[in-house]
A and B are shown apart, each in its own frame.
Chain A
Amino acid sequence: MSYSDWLIQLAQTALVLGVAPLLSGVTRKIRARLLRRQGASVLQPYHDLLKLIRKEAVVAENASWLFRAAPYLIFATTWVAAALVPTFASGLPLGAVADIIVIVALLGTARFLLALAGLDVGTSFGGLGSSREMLFASLAEPAMLMAVFTLSLFAGSTQLSSISAYMLGPGAGINISLALALVALIIVSIGENARIPVDNPATHLELTMVHEAMILEYSGRHLAVLEAAAAVKLLLYLSLIACVFTPWGTAVAGAGVLAYAVGLLAWAMKLALLAFLLVLFETAIAKMRVFRVPEFLGIALMLGLLGTILLFVSRVSR
């Protein structure tokens, strides 16, 4: 581990934070164009965050310390999880201390705190959101872990860098388990990021809402931090899919400046493509009823399990 590796790690950590609002700006812009609207500038999320931060925070009278501390902790855990996903370069120092199961679990910690924050004020909307979020998570999290297991069994490792390297190598090819894992991971990403058809990130007053209901009582700087955390989470999922299923172009730690530049460009293009596909899917489909969502996520769980079982019976892993 050289200093340059740590420097790149630090750069990646800062980068995910800086780019996350841009990514949500881009998705909103694409969505608007697909709906034949002009749409706001892709920089609008930065303006929104800045505006929220400068505003006075209004906190409910009976809110406890947990309500005020939770946004920072949620943001921190999400950010740390995002910093563990290789973006433009892989094989970085943090990859050797926390694997993909840790990433899933860190997102779990963030969700746990968010659900508690939703219950803190004691309003019916907050409870509604928390309850539904935990229901969805009880299917989405195992589905994600099953997809992760499939990938780990292929690569013989739970570290993202190793999985990414394996996918580039000659061992990987078109494989049914891999395809099942990809579909499961996409469904989970849609569910976990509160996108249509599971939830609608653009509404506040809809009875089917989940994520927005939990943060309904937040305002000002607290809301800004939570919005940023949601943006980082979307970036995390897209980077994860890009890193595992389209590992081409990603620089390996210790490569030259040119390789990093290529990696950066490749990452940006992958993210743009994935964002486009995500929004295309969103605009083409209608939102589901709440009790259809468990079936949707259950499909992901079953696909993930099927992929893992196929692997278990078809090969002896290393």
Chain B
Amino acid sequence: MSQLAASGVGLLLALSVLGIFAARRTPGTRLIYAACAAVCAGLAGVALLRLLAPAGGLESVEIPIGLPLGRTFLGLDPLSAAFALIVNLAAAIVSGYAIGYGVHAREPQRVVPFYPAFIAGMNLVLLAQDAFSFLVGWELMSLASWALVLSEHRSPENRHAALVYLIMASGGALTLLLAFGLLAGPEGGYSFEAIRRVSASGVGPIVLLLALLGAGSKAGLVPLHAWLPLAHPAAPSHVSALMSGVMTKVAVYGFVRLVFDLAGPPAWWWSVPVLVIAAVTALLGVLYALMEHDLKRLLAYHTVENIGIIFIGLGLALAFEASGLRAAAALAFAAAIFHVFNHSLFKSLLFMGSGAVLNATGERDMERLGGLIKAMPATAVAFLVGCIAISALPPFNGFVSEWLTFQAILLSPQLPQWVPRLLVPAVGATLACSAALAAACFVKAFGMTFLGRPRTQAASSAAETDRCSQIAMLSLALLCLLAGILPGFVIDSLGAVTQMAVGARLAPQSGQAWLRIVPIDIHRSAYSGLLVFVMILLAAAATAFAVRRVASHALRRSAAWDCGFPDASPATQYTAGSFAQPIRRVFGSVVFRAREQLTMPRPGDTAVARLQVELRDTVWDALYTPIIRFVAATAERLNRMQFLTIRNYLTLVFAALVALLIIVGTWR
């Protein structure tokens, strides 16, 4: 199976080369995307088979290239397989979407060759069984996606986004390199097998820190999220879907691999920084998203929130595992991975929807959209499902993983330590708060884009997107529903992963009555998404039927009532800004130091009234601005060295040599 998976990566790389030539013509572009979809579907199938296979040893493929004296190992263990399934399932559907959408790229040569390489890089990270190939895959993924972010390089915004992304990505890769270096120990055994065997003591906390920095910056943990809302929207929408929905999951995989698998048994206090950062990430992410009016940036910010939710689950799993509460750890970990799966589905779906909107109207700004539900019915349905699912509302999938996380939180009074016991309720409240705010955020996103009256000419002349894109979006919407009403199957297939990561698994769920899930005990909690879904459908159908029998069938279309003062201009509708205004006033005055200034002319004066809103990105101001200033100032100083005389240079070289010799001399 590992051979198959490895050859899949090879195929993707070959497609990448073919893409250079194929991108010149539209059919060639379509062909490359179709081939990507097929390869990804195959890889997803292989991963699923591996995941469901009875526990077997790890068969790995050895490739005789790599570091000097080293070889490269590729293989699928349960953890890799679970993430490979998640990544390739979403990538297959996104590639299907790209068959229709990808041909609209202005310069396909800048997209098509890098797209398969990007997917290949992500798969290489997952398949890697040694640090070297892991990092090679990681860098391939980063660089290919960087090239994709830069594909529309004419806009200065995108160039800025790509620069920030490149800096963050190289910083992240550097910390991961250090983490693996520490783990490998003095012998330098870089295969995961060797690292596990050595399990160098004492490096655990540093590895955790480095993983939080390296994987966290790729995933978008606050305060390392700054690149994400810049870079994700800058890429073409199918690439945005992959970056936001899938690549962040590879980052989560990196964290899990380092901290749960390689760093050895955790100490209880490891959970504290993870939980704090995760909770802050969840809340700040959704608040940022609420303030955003650009549809794709809103979605990118919202990824930050979901990463927070995932890391809350991972933090809880660490706390439980360290205290020997294996069953609870399995629950928390399964909740986190379930959310990883869910987020890959609905975030890809939402980005594809925003791509369809962008293509139909040329607009990403919600203030200039509206009323698209009539022009784009299929896109609207798929987008609506994504919005409900991501807001963690039943009967869709987002609710299940959030419910599991809540169940894990309710188990945490069992923890023996005081600090997490005090921390976890606050984390729970933050999670509940961010879930409710997410609902507000997606009422705004769907309502402003698809409901109401078109705010511009572009919005009113929109047309439905192509068939391929529709099928891709609707199939993801269907998967969101299926994962929501049949969660037991998902949890069961994650059994081997939780077993590997935390040493226990949840009881098998698929035999339960009503296909319900029972994480701990039937007297404690249970949820049957299927039954809830069927009941809602039955209740709605019964109501509609009863009302039809009794009620008047008359229906008259007329002008909107609006309390007797309807206004013909669509500009008087609520906008994204006005929708978020109350929330901005309540939460934003602290978080964003929001200031509003109203200039109202006196009655009778015909001057324009003006409302000025000022929002500050506090994280950027507090963290990034000083760093940027410091780097600029240092560069300015160092610049002088360009203009020295030859004598000065010789002196400098001599001084450097002496300094180095002194260091070397005093080292021992």
Residues of A within 8 A of B (CB): 53-62, 64-66, 72-73, 75-77, 79-80, 83, 94, 96-99, 101-102, 105-106, 108-109, 111-112, 115-116, 119-128, 130-132, 134-135, 137-142, 145-146, 149, 152-153, 156-159, 162, 204-205, 216-217, 219-221, 224-225, 290-291, 294, 301, 304-305, 308-309, 311-313, 315-317
Contacts and interface: CB of A to CB of B under 8 A. Distances in A.
Contacts of B428: 145-146, 149, 308
B611 to A, nearest CB: 15
A211 to B, nearest CB: 15
7 shortest A-B CB distances, which residue pairs? Answer: A127-B574, A122-B452, A142-B432, A119-B447, A134-B440, A76-B540, A76-B539
Given A75-B539, A109-B388, A134-B440, A96 B522 contact: yes
A62 B454 CA distance: 10
15 contacts: A53-B551, A57-B554, A58-B555, A58-B557, A76-B540, A105-B392, A112-B443, A115-B443, A122-B573, A134-B444, A141-B439, A291-B586, A313-B418, A313-B421, A315-B413
A301 B432 CA distance: 10
Given A98-B532, A105-B392, A123 B403 contact: no
A101 B421 contact: no
A303 B588 CA distance: 22
Interface stretch (B75-83, B258-266, B563-571): B563-571
B270 interface: no
A60 B558 CA distance: 5
Contact of B406 (A101, A141, A290, A311): A101
Contact of B556 (A56, A62, A137): A56
Given A94-B531, A312-B424, A313-B418, 9 more contacts: A60-B559, A72-B540, A75-B539, A134-B444, A137-B439, A158-B407, A221-B547, A221-B552, A291-B586
B414 A108 contact: no
B509 to A, nearest CB: 13
Contacts of A308: 425, 428-429
Contacts of B444: 134
Contacts, number: 290
Contacts of A55: 552
A66 B451 contact: yes
B438 to A, nearest CB: 9
Nearest to B398: A105
B414 to A, nearest CB: 6
Contacts of B580: 131
A141 B539 contact: no
B562 interface: yes
A119 B443 contact: yes
A58 B556 contact: yes
Given A76-B543, A131-B574, A290-B582, A60 B560 contact: yes
Contacts of B562: 121, 123-125, 216-217
Nearest to A108: B393
B11 to A, nearest CB: 42
A139 B433 CA distance: 7
Q: Which of B392, B412, B422, B552 is most buried by chain A, counting CB atoms within 10 A of its CB?
A: B552
B622 interface: no
Interface string B592-611: 00000000000000000000
A73 B560 contact: no
A157 B399 CA distance: 19
A102 B531 CA distance: 12
Contacts of B414: 316-317
- SS class, residues of chain A in contact with chain B: helix
Most A CB within 10 A of own CB, among B409, B443, B516, B562: B443
Contacts of B574: 119, 124, 126-128, 130-131
Contacts of B560: 60-62, 121-123, 217
A97 B559 contact: no
B563 A225 contact: no
Given A53-B552, A124-B562, A135-B586, A159 B526 contact: yes
Contact of A116 (B374, B447, B539, B544): B447
Interface string B85-107: 00000000000000000000000
B458 interface: no
B271 to A, nearest CB: 15
B137 interface: no
B550 interface: yes
Nearest to B421: A312
A98 B633 CA distance: 60
Point out which of A80, A146, A152 has the most chain B C-beta atoms below 10 A from its C-beta.
A80
B561 interface: yes
A294 B572 CA distance: 26
A64 B433 contact: no
A141 B438 CA distance: 12
Contact of A127 (B412, B566, B573): B573
A290 B537 CA distance: 35
A216 B418 contact: no
A122 B570 contact: yes
B142 interface: no
A281 B516 CA distance: 41
A120 B448 CA distance: 9
Contacts of B407: 158
A225 B543 contact: yes
Contacts of A304: 429
B510 interface: no
A145 to B, nearest CB: 4
A31 B551 CA distance: 30
B388 A112 contact: yes
